[in-house]
Structures are given as C-alpha cells and as structure tokens.
Amino acid sequence: MIVEFGHFALVLAVVVALFQTVVPLWGSLTKQPRLMETAKPAAILQFVLLCFSFAALTYAYVVSDFSVANVAANSHSTKPLIYRISGVWGNHEGSLLLWVLILALFGSAVAIFGNELPQTLRANVLSVQASIALAFGIFMLATSNPFLRLENPPLDGRGLNPILQDPALALHPPFLYAGYVGFSIAFSFAIAALIEGRINAAWARWVRPWTLAAWMCLTLGIAMGSWWAYYELGWGGWWFWDPVENASFMPWLAGTALLHSALVMEKRETLKVWTILLAILTFSLSLMGTFLVRSGVLTSVHAFAVDPERGVAILLIMTIFVGGGLALFALRAGELRQGGLFAPISREGALVLNNVLLTTATATVLVGTLYPLLLEGLTGAKISVGPPFFNMTFIPLMVPLLIALPFGPFLPWKRGDLQGVAQRLIIAALIGLVAMVATMAVASRGPWLAPIMMAIGVYVMVGALQELAFRAKVGSAGREEVLRRLWNLPRSVYGTALAHFGVGLMVIGIVATSAYRIETVLVMKPGDKVDIANYELTFKGVAPFRGPNYREQVATFDVSRDGVPLTTLSPSKRVYDAPPQPTSEAGIHAAWRGDLYTVLGDAQVEDGGYAIRLYFNPLVRFIWLGALLMFIAGGISLSDRRLRVGAPRRKSRQPAVAVAPAE
Amino acid sequence: MQALAPKHWLYPLLAIAVLLFAAGTDSVRAVQPDEVLKDSELETRARQLSLELRCLVCQNQSIDDSDAPLARDLRLLVRERLKNGDSDSEVLDFIVSRYGEFVLLKPPFGWHTLLLWFTPLLVLFGAIWLARSVMNPGRTAAAAAANGAGAAEPALSPDEEAKLKRILDKG
C-alpha cells in the first residue's frame, strides 16, 4: 500500500507542479497578488509530496519489496542496509525521483526563505522552477515510473552492481544532483528576470548563494566520483575525460564562471547580460548531462535510435528549456541596462578573463564530448576523442587562468595597478620557482612541463595566502593590528582565499601524480620481495575469504620502509553473489608524500606466482584535499553575513577604493 | 581468471550511477607482466603509444587501461613493431591502416575534424571579443579617468538619492 501512496503522491506532486507553473506566472503577468502568493504553499506542498513519494520508494527498497519492478531489478535481499538505501538512486527511475525531489527542495527553500524577494520575482522564479519539475514529472510517469508493480514478483532481486556498493558512491549521486539541480535556481532566476525585463544587484545577491551551494555540492560530488574511481577501478586513475565525467565537469566549469560573474554583477551591477547567459548555459549543461547519461547516446548513436523513447523525451525537455531560455534571452537581453564601467586592468577585468577562459574550457570539453557523436550521426565517420585531445586543449587554457588567478583578488574594482600587484606577487612567484627547482632535484625524469606546473600550483597557493596577509597588513602593521584585521576580515575573503588555495593544491596533486607516478607490473611468488619508492614489499601469499555478500581472494603484503615494518596491505579480487560479478579491491597505503597502491592480478598458470601491479602515486591526495578545501571554502563564504540569504544590508562600495594600492 | 569484459565503459555510467545492468569487470588492468619489453626505452615508448590508442571493443578506454583481449593484441602489436625498428608515427600509421582512424584517441587533423580543433580557438576569440564589448574600450579610457573623480557612475534617480540618504543616515 505504501508504494501505491508513494505513486499517488508523485502524481499529485506533478499536478501541484502544473498549478505552480501556471497560476503564479499568470498572477504576475496580470498583477494579481493573490495568485502570485499561491506559489509559496504550492512549492512547499510539492516538496512534501515528493518527500513522501521518495520515502515510499526507499521503504520498498529497505523491506526488499520485489513486487515493485524497480526494486526487483536493482536490489537484493542480502545487500547491507546502506546499499539497499543507496540503491534507490542507483538506477534510472529512482535517480530521476531524487532529481525531482532535490528540484522541489530548492524550490521550497526559495519559497520559505524568499520573503524579502519582490513578489513578482518570487512568483516567476517558483513558476519556472515548477515548470522544470512538471516536465520531469511527466517524463517519469510516462517513461520511467519507479512505482510499477510486477504481476509475478521474483523471489529475490537482481542486485546492485557491486562496484557501486561503496560508501563514496552511495553519496556521490545525491551531491552531484544537488549540484546539477541547484543550478536550476540560477536558471529560474535568470528566466524570471528576463520575463520581467529588469535585473539589479539584488538579483545577483540572491542568485549567488544558491549558485554557490550548488557549486559546492557539484565540486564534492565530482571529487567523490573521482576518488571512488581511483580506489575502486583498480589502477589508480582518477580522471578519464570520459563523456559522463565531462557531462558533470561542464556544468562545474560554467558554474564556476557564473559564480565569478555574479560577483561582478552583485558588487558592480555590470556584466548583467553575461551573467544571465551563464546562468542559462550552466543549467542547460546540467540538463545535457542528464540527457547524455540517460539517453544511451553515449554508448552509441545507434543504441539511441533503437530505444529512443526516453532519449527523445529528454531531448524534448532540453529543447524546450534550453531553446526557450536562449530565445527569451535573445528577445529580452537588450532591455537589460548595463551598469558601471571599468578598465581592463581591474577586479572586473580579472573576473572577465576568468569567464573568458572558463567558458572556452567549457566549450572545449563540450565539443570534444559531442563531436564524435555529431560526426557519426551526420557523416557516419567514426573518430575518437580521448584524453590526449583534452589534455592538449584544456591545459593551455588552464595555465593562463592559474597565472592570472592570484592577481584577481588583489586588484581593486574599476581600475587597478597591474605592476603594483605583480610586485607583491613576486614573493609567490619566487616560492613557486623554489618549488620548481626542488621538483627538478627530486625527480630526474618526467615531462619538462611538470616542474613549471608545480611552480604554478605553489604560486597559486602562496598567492592566496598573500592576499590574506595583504588585507591584514602583515609586515606594515603591528601584531595586534594584524590579528584584529584578520579577525575582522569578511568570511567571504577567507572563502575566496581558501578556495584558491585549494585550486593550487589540486594542481600540485594532479601534476605530481600524472608526471611522476611510478609503476611496475611483475609476477610474484609468496616470499618474494620488491622495492618501490623507498618502500620494501614482501608478498606473503593469497588466501580465500568470505564477506557478507561476496567471496574474495586476498593477497597480503608486508610493507616496510628503511627496514622498519610499516603496515600490511591486502589487495583482493572479489566475486559478488548477486549479480555474480568480479571486482578488484586495491590495497592502498596513504601518506602525505603519496599513495602506495597495490593490485592483485591473475594467478600465473605456469609457476604458481601472481601478477602484481604496484604503483606509487606522489601527492595524489592533494587532488581531493584541494576539492574538499573548495567545498569548505564555499561553506565559509556562504556563512558570510552579506551573502546570507535574505540579509538586507548592502555593502558600501567605499572599502573597495580603500584597498587600492597607494600610488 | 582472465578479464572478460571491458571495464571502462562502465565507469561513465557508474559515475552518475545510472545504468546498472553492466557487464563484468575484473581486477587486472592492462599490461600483463609477460608483455613488458626488456628494453626499457622501447617499453616507455610502447606505453606512451598505448595511451593514444583506443581499445576498440571498449567504451572510451585506451589499450593501456583495457583488459580486453583485443587491447592485449594491440599492445603486443605495438611492441612488435617497435622491436622491428618502427618510429612512433610509423606504428600509429600501421595501426590506423588496419583499424581505421577510430583507433586514435587524439583525432588526426583534417577536414572532418576542423571544427573539433578550431572550436576552442573560435570560442576563445568570440569570448574575448564579447569581453571587449563589455568593457567598451572606446569609453574605458575616459571612464577610467573619470572614475577617479567618481563621475562615471550614472547619476542617481531622485528615488535612489532618497534611499542612499536613508542608508547613510542609518549608518
């Protein structure tokens, strides 16, 4: 019964979404406050209904109700509870329900916290938000209903793919979706602004926290996926430029650009048109991510043609929202008044450069991802676009971005002094150079670009710290004054510095592990020893083991360093019971200087040895640590009073001038 | 147990945890101990080349990463050619002549890939052009000069004046 209630709640939620799409918009167009006011209770009701619906599906998973087709297809009674729950969104139908739930969550949050918004803006935003929910709700009910029952329920389910049975991956989709869907708020605000034909700094102040929250979630979601790939796929790769990774990376890049341009818009009321366009594009890319992943178009253009129902439906949804959004933009953008002027060398100019490069990077990833599909669709010619293409095009765009990055926060609004800032950043550049020399001294091999990139990473990190030091007048003021200033700095300043610091850290991790990774493949027999990256490993042998829902062969390595026993690593090969599928579990010893990563391979028929793969991934943790810092930095920024949703106080523009370097 | 199915085409789907009816995956990845060449310089070149070649039966996976038997065959073929003294580009040409351009992870430059390679540049120039129009170079010099005197801001409407006064009074 609970499942039927859940199904019914979903249908009701779609009806409420229809109401919420039409009535408030009609109210705002005809200036009827009472109609506009219906948006708030509708948004909350929609959220409550979807919560109930989602809870009902979760219940079916938890009690393993295999009369529900979705549960039977994706769950299994022997699965641990956490993976029965994460199984809810580990499949197409359930993940769509989660998608719509998060959409409603954000919508109701705007409804609840948006009391200070102008009435028409709020009505329009909630109306646009509901229209997205409506489209996806209909799509779910028509093609992907998770609540359908089976006439002859099976005795047990088919099980969740075992490599998904992992804590990081259980949380990965909700975060990713919170990111994707969170950008819908920026989209709804942009469309609402275009409908009204007016937009101001208050708009940006409203959009920015939502965008920031979405961006945080997306950052963490992508990082979790990458981390999972690293330890689960069995060879320590952490990014593959794979179409589905790209599908989540493009909204991230565009969202990062949006975050920065919204800053300009909030502080200086300029770049309005650009910000609106980015808001539309960012959410469009989120929709495209959904489309790419769900339509089957990635596996093959032909697979898409064979089972086009869902793909065409999502394509239709995408066309309506992206096409509609862009058409509205083309019609109304001209009416938006541009704001304050600025010189190219200024905070605005730096942020424009950020936007130019990030947008180009997004376009590069987009064309690399879609080009093979389009070319095959149009001409039948098959080409591959893989990591070598992306590395070759993406990295040259990131280098100038990273070099320019520390300049941005130093430059004052309107007009800045490039030379003055450069003089300050010499310290960061010098420390970067030291890092470069150190890298070259430690690593005798590797590509020539790597030490330079290490230098850039360090320079970005030091630059971020220098900005804090500069604002606190370290060096020119007394200790008490410095502490007082540090204490009084707005949290958003700390957020910026920490996020930029995280970027530098991530660059270092990426470069170190890509350029200086050590790997060996060898056959080992029990008792054999091998040295790698100053570790000495002794292979003790392989033993069978029985887990809760899998069997495995576990190898044991004693690891010592400089003769001192350090740890024992146990990489294993697993076969799960349902579905019977083999996976590999790497044995990883994590340390600051890098990860020792061991993988058990096949038994060798001839001599009783095992194929063993050993890797040393230097500084690899910095990649995810950097992402984590960016996430935390977003949280710190979000807690800033001025950014807090609904905080009415507007910062005066005077301090920006005060920060300007003395000339 | 030998790897039976490609693994990498799974990751994309998994990354967003969507389709779960996946083929098997297996632990051992790519290069087997018996494949490794004795000549370490040749082996390095072989690994580099492997990264640029696609495993044809996998989803977006290089032969360096793939467990598929075909990928192994290609890895052995690359090493065979290198041992025979082929240059890197000769090896690639040979493999393309047998398997087609699809095998290259970095598509060759040509008419059919013109847009692929030039889109980043086009977008970059487009974005720079847009940025310039935003900054309005014709007026920026004057604006920058005027900014010092605070005159570049558009005049406030009476409404805004009143608001400003309120804010200032409050502070």
DSSP-derived secondary structure for B12-56: HHHHTT---------S--S--GGG--SSHHHHHHHHHHHHHBB-T
List, for residues A474-496, the tens digit of each pLDDT value: 878 788 888 888 888 889 899 99
Q: Determine, for residues B14 and A342 on separate chains, whether the beta-carbon distance falls below 8 Å.
A: no
List, for residues A369-381, the tens digit of each pLDDT value: 999 888 888 888 8
Q: How far apart are CA A270 and CA A428, in angstroms?
A: 31
Q: Judge whether residue B1 has pLDDT over 70.
A: no
- Which alpha helices (H) appear in B84-156, and where do they start and end? 88-99, 114-135, 137-149
Of A74, A344, A375, which is closest to B20 when you measure between CB atoms? A74
Tokens 């239709």 -> residue: A316
Most confident of A83-92, A283-292, A457-466, B35-44: A457-466
> How confident is the model at residue A78, as a pLDDT?
81
Q: How far apart are CA B74 and CA B126, in angstroms?
A: 41
Least confident of A275-279, A288-292, A504-508: A288-292
**pLDDT higher for B10 or A393?**
A393
List, for residues A439-487, the tens digit of each pLDDT value: 888 887 778 889 999 999 999 999 999 999 888 888 787 888 888 888 8
Q: Judge whether residue A57 has pLDDT over 60.
A: yes
Q: Phi first, then psi: what are they for B111, rounded to 5°?
A: -60, -40
Q: How far apart are CA A120 and CA A347, in angstroms?
A: 33
Q: How far apart are CA A406 and CA A233, in angstroms?
A: 36
Give A385→chain B minimum CA distance, Å. Answer: 5
Give A424→chain B minimum CA distance, Å. Answer: 23
For residues A267 and A258, the answer to whether their CB atoms sit within 8 Å is no
List, for residues A412-424, the tens digit of each pLDDT value: 888 888 888 888 8
> How confident is the model at residue A642, as a pLDDT?
62
List, for residues A73-82, the tens digit of each pLDDT value: 888 888 888 8
Tell which residue, A239, A245, A370, A293, has the closest CA to residue A99.
Answer: A293
Task: Please identify among residues 128-147 of chain B the ones whose CB lies closer than 8 Å to any CB of chain A.
Answer: 128, 130-131, 134-137, 139-141, 143-144, 147
Q: Determine, for residues A298 and B12 on separate chains, whether the beta-carbon distance falls below 8 Å.
A: yes
pLDDT interval class at A167 (50, 70, 90): confident
**pLDDT higher for A44 or A647?**
A44
Chain B residues lying within 8 Å of A234, measured CB to CB = 7, 27-29
Burial letters for A306-330: b for 16+ Cβ neighbours within 10 Å, e otherwise?
A: eeeebbebbbebbeebbeebeebbe
Tell which residue, A423, A424, A451, has the closest CA to residue A436.
Answer: A451
Least confident of A312-316, A393-397, B121-125: A312-316
pLDDT interval class at B7 (50, 70, 90): very low
In this prediction, residues A225-251 reach a mean pLDDT of 85
Most confident of A196-200, A353-357, A650-654, B4-8: A353-357
Mean pLDDT score across all residues of chain A = 87
> How confident is the model at residue A307, as a pLDDT?
60
Give A148→chain B minimum CA distance, Å. Answer: 18
Q: Determine, for residues A386 and B62 on separate chains, whether the beta-carbon distance falls below 8 Å.
A: yes
Per residue, what are the HEC states of A284-326? HHHHHHHHHHHHCCCCCHHHHHHCHHHHHHHHHHHHHHHHHHH
Q: Judge whether residue B3 has pLDDT over 50.
A: no
- Mutation target among B20, B57, B132 for the A interface, most CBs of A within 10 A: B20
Tell which residue, A123, A111, A128, A132, has the closest CA to residue A35.
Answer: A123
Chain B residues lying within 8 Å of A169, measured CB to CB = 14, 17
Give B155→chain A minimum CA distance, Å. Answer: 11
Chain A residues lying within 8 Å of B11, measured CB to CB = 229, 233, 240, 242, 244-245
Q: Determine, for residues B107 and A385 on separate chains, whether the beta-carbon distance falls below 8 Å.
A: yes
Element (H, E) at B10: helix B10-15
Q: Judge whether residue B29 has pLDDT over 60.
A: no
Upper half-sphere CA count for residue A133 (Cβ side, 13 Å) = 39
Q: Determine, for residues B59 and A355 on separate chains, whether the beta-carbon distance falls below 8 Å.
A: no
Helix (H, G, I), strand (E, B) or coil at A585: strand
Parallel, antiparallel, or unpaired for β A594-603 and A610-618?
Answer: antiparallel
Of all residues in chain A, the one with the smallest CA distance to B153 is A340
Q: Judge whether residue B149 has pLDDT over 70.
A: no
Q: Judge whether residue A183 has pLDDT over 90.
A: yes
List beta partners, residue A568.
A558
> How confident is the model at residue B169, as a pLDDT?
63
> How confident is the model at residue B137, as a pLDDT?
46
Whether residue B164 lies within 8 A of chain A, CB to CB, comes out as no
Q: Determine, for residues B15 and A271 on separate chains, whether the beta-carbon distance falls below 8 Å.
A: no
Give B136→chain A minimum CA distance, Å. Answer: 8
Q: Determine, for residues B33 and A393 on separate chains, whether the beta-carbon distance falls below 8 Å.
A: no
Q: Judge whether residue A198 has pLDDT over 70.
A: yes
Whether residue B120 lies within 8 A of chain A, CB to CB, comes out as yes
Tell which residue, A153, A180, A4, has the closest CA to residue A75.
Answer: A153
Of all residues in chain B, the one with the smallest CA distance to A248 is B16
Mean pLDDT score across all residues of chain B = 70
Q: How far apart are CA A343 and CA A269, in angstroms?
A: 15
Q: How many CB pairs under 8 A join A and B?
A: 236
Parallel, antiparallel, or unpaired for β A587-591 and A535-546?
Answer: unpaired
Instruction: Concatenate the DSSP letters of all residues of A553-580 into one string.
Output: EEEEEEEEETTEEEEEE--EEEEESSS-
Give A236→chain B minimum CA distance, Å. Answer: 10
Whether the bond between A162 and the residue before it is cis, its omega within 30 degrees of 0, is no
- Mutation target among B96, B116, B170 for the A interface, most CBs of A within 10 A: B116
pLDDT interval class at A215 (50, 70, 90): very high
Task: Please identify among residues 55-94 of chain B the ones whose CB lies closer than 8 Å to any CB of chain A.
Answer: 59-62, 65
Residues of chain A with pLDDT > 90: what percent?
49
> How confident is the model at residue B168, as a pLDDT?
63
**pLDDT higher for B4 or A72?**
A72
Q: Judge whether residue B138 has pLDDT over 90.
A: no
Tokens of A334: 């001209």
Give B22→chain A minimum CA distance, Å. Answer: 7
**pLDDT higher for A605 or A38?**
A38
Of all residues in chain A, the one with the smallest CA distance to B9 is A299
pLDDT interval class at B146 (50, 70, 90): very low
Of B27, B31, B62, which is closest to A584 when you measure between CB atoms? B27
Give A41→chain B minimum CA distance, Å. Answer: 32
Of A341, A367, A582, which is closest to B1 when you measure between CB atoms? A582
Q: Determine, for residues B12 and A242 on separate chains, whether the beta-carbon distance falls below 8 Å.
A: yes
Residues of chain A with pLDDT > 70: what percent?
93
List, for residues A298-353, the tens digit of each pLDDT value: 665 555 555 667 778 888 888 999 999 999 999 888 777 666 778 888 898 899 99
Give B3→chain A minimum CA distance, Å. Answer: 9
**pLDDT higher for A581 or A224?**
A224
In this prediction, residues A262-268 reach a mean pLDDT of 86
pLDDT interval class at B41 (50, 70, 90): confident
List, for residues A496-551, the tens digit of each pLDDT value: 999 999 999 999 999 999 889 888 888 899 999 999 988 999 999 999 999 887 88
Upper half-sphere CA count for residue B21 (Cβ side, 13 Å) = 7
What is the reported pTM?
0.87
> How confident is the model at residue A602, as a pLDDT?
82
Least confident of A331-340, A548-557, B64-73: A331-340
Q: How far apart are CA A86 and CA A384, in angstroms?
A: 34
pLDDT interval class at B66 (50, 70, 90): confident
Of A160, A163, A381, which is closest to B112 when you measure between CB atoms? A381
> How confident is the model at residue B160, as a pLDDT?
66
